[in-house]
Every structure is written in structure tokens, then in C-alpha cells.
């Protein structure tokens, strides 16, 4: 049985988890993340709603580019 492809997947998942952990730890230090123009924030008397539309699109774009660099067809 060949375990080499499985090992590569574990390494990639580990790198992804490290990067995700760093983003979570460092996110308060990134001033614009979560407060971009286009993010929806509604505040009423006893209700608040926040949906980071543009931030989600930006994060998705960055993740797509990174994954294409690693797994893209050459």
C-alpha cells in the first residue's frame, strides 16, 4: 500500500491549519479586515446584524489563489 499521497495531504492540511491559526491570532492587528466598504452592518435598539460581504469575497479570492499555486494544473 502506498502512503505517499496521503502524507502529502496531511502536510497540506497541516500548513493550512497553521496559516488559519495565524490569521485568527493576527486578525485584530489587520485594521481593514472586517471593516471594508461593502460589508453590511445594521444596528438597531436591541438588534445588530453584521455580514462581511466584501471581506468574505477578498478572503475567498486569496485562498483560491494560494490553492491554485499549490494544486494548479501545470
Residue range 42-73, pLDDT digits in tens:
999 999 999 889 988 988 998 888 878 877 76
pLDDT at 22: 85
Higher pLDDT, 48 or 5: 48
Contact indicator for 51, 38 with CB cutoff of 8 Å: no
pLDDT at 1: 67
Name the pTM for this structure.
0.59
Higher pLDDT, 4 or 70: 4
All cell numbers assigned to 1: 500500500
**Residue-by-residue DSSP string for 44-72:** -SS-EEEE-HHHHHHHHHHHHHHHHHHH-
Amino acid at each position: 500500500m502506498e502512503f505517499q499521497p496521503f502524507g502529502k495531504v496531511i502536510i497540506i492540511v497541516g500548513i493550512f491549519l497553521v496559516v488559519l491559526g495565524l490569521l485568527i491570532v493576527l486578525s485584530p492587528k489587520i485594521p481593514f479586515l472586517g471593516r471594508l466598504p461593502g460589508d453590511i452592518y445594521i444596528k438597531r435598539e436591541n438588534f445588530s446584524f453584521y455580514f462581511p460581504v466584501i471581506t468574505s469575497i477578498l478572503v475567498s479570492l486569496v485562498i483560491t489563489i494560494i490553492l491554485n499555486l499549490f494544486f494548479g494544473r501545470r
